[in-house]
Amino acid sequence: MVAGSIVTASQAATATELLPVEAFGSLPQMVTAKLSPDGKYYAAIQSSAGRSTVAIYDLSTPPGTAPISVATADWIAEDILWAKNDRLVVVARKVAVNPESKQTVRWQRAIAVDHTGQNPVVLMNNLRSLANNTSSADIVDVAPDDPKFVYAGFFISHGSNGFTLDLMRVDVTTGDAEPYMTGNRYTRLWLTDGHGGVVARVDQTKNPLQDHVKIYQNGTWRDGQTVDASGTNGAGIVGLTNDGKAIVAFQNGDAAWTLTRQDLATNATSTLYSIAGYDLYSSFTNDWTGRIEGASYFDDRWQHIYFDPAQESLQQGLERAFPGMSVLMVSTDLAGDKVIVEVENGRTPPSFYYLDRTTHQAALIGLTFPTLKPENLSDVRAYPYAARDGLAISAYLTLPAGREAKDLPLIVMPHDGPDTRDSIQFNWMSQFLASRGYAVLQPNYRGSFGYGRKFTDAGLRQWGLKIQDDISDGVRKVIADGIADPKRVCIFGKGYGGYIALAGASFTPDLFACAISLGGISDFHNFLFWEQKLRVKNLDTMSYLDSRIGTIVEDDERLRATSPKLHADQIKAPILLVHAERDFFIPINQSEDMQLALLKAGKKVEFVRFASDDNTMSLPESRIRLLNELERFLSENIGK
Distance CA 375, CA 12 (A): 7
pLDDT at 4: 33
Pairing of strands 575-580, 514-518: parallel
Range with lowest mean pLDDT among 225-229, 274-278, 402-406, 527-531: 225-229
Distance CA 443, CA 394 (A): 6
- Share the mean pLDDT of the chain: 92
What 3-state class would DSSP assign to 1? coil
Give me the phi and psi of 482, to 5 degrees please. 80, 5
Distance CA 398, CA 377 (A): 10
pLDDT at 133: 87
- pLDDT of 38 strictly over 70: yes
What value does the mean pLDDT take over residues 485-511?
Answer: 98
Q: Which residues pair with 212 in a beta bridge?
A: 203, 226
Distance CA 81, CA 332 (A): 12
- pLDDT of 164 strictly over 70: yes
N-term to C-term CA, the chain: 45
Query: How distant, in Å, are the alpha carbons of 77, 78, 104, 547, 599 from that of 94?
Result: 9, 10, 10, 30, 34
Distance CA 96, CA 52 (A): 18
Q: Which is more confidently placed, 133 or 295?
A: 295
- pLDDT of 227 strictly over 90: no
The model carries a pTM of: 0.93
Distance CA 511, CA 636 (A): 17
- pLDDT of 101 strictly over 90: no
Question: Do the beta carbons of residue 445 and residue 491 sit within 8 Å?
Answer: no
Count the alpha carbons within 13 Å of 218 in the hemisphere toward its beta carbon.
3
- Using N-to-C axis directions, what is the helix angle for 496-507 and 466-480, rounded to 10°? 70
What value does the mean pLDDT take over residues 32-55?
Answer: 93
- pLDDT of 439 strictly over 80: yes
Domains of the chain, first to last = 378-637 (3.40.50.1820)
Report pLDDT digits (tens) over 110-154: 999 999 999 999 999 999 889 888 899 999 999 999 999 999 999
- pLDDT of 12 strictly over 60: no
Question: Do the beta carbons of residue 110 and residue 139 sit within 8 Å?
Answer: yes
Query: How distant, in Å, are the alpha carbons of 40, 97, 332 from that of 360?
Result: 17, 50, 15
What value does the mean pLDDT take over residues 394-416?
Answer: 97
Query: Cα dihedral angle (222, 223, 225, 227), rounded to 10 degrees?
Result: 130
91: left (phi over 0), alpha (psi -120 to 50) or beta: beta
Query: Which helix (H) or strand (E) covers residue 631, if one does?
Result: helix 620-637
Give me the phi and psi of 202, to 5 degrees please. -120, 125
pLDDT at 533: 76
What value does the mean pLDDT take over residues 11-38?
Answer: 84
pLDDT at 1: 30
Amino acid at 388: R
Give me the phi and psi of 22, to 5 degrees please. -60, -25
Report pLDDT digits (tens) over 520-538: 999 999 999 988 876 655 7
Query: How distant, in Å, are the alpha carbons of 46, 47, 94, 118, 305 from that of 51?
Result: 8, 5, 13, 20, 34
What value does the mean pLDDT take over residues 612-631?
Answer: 91
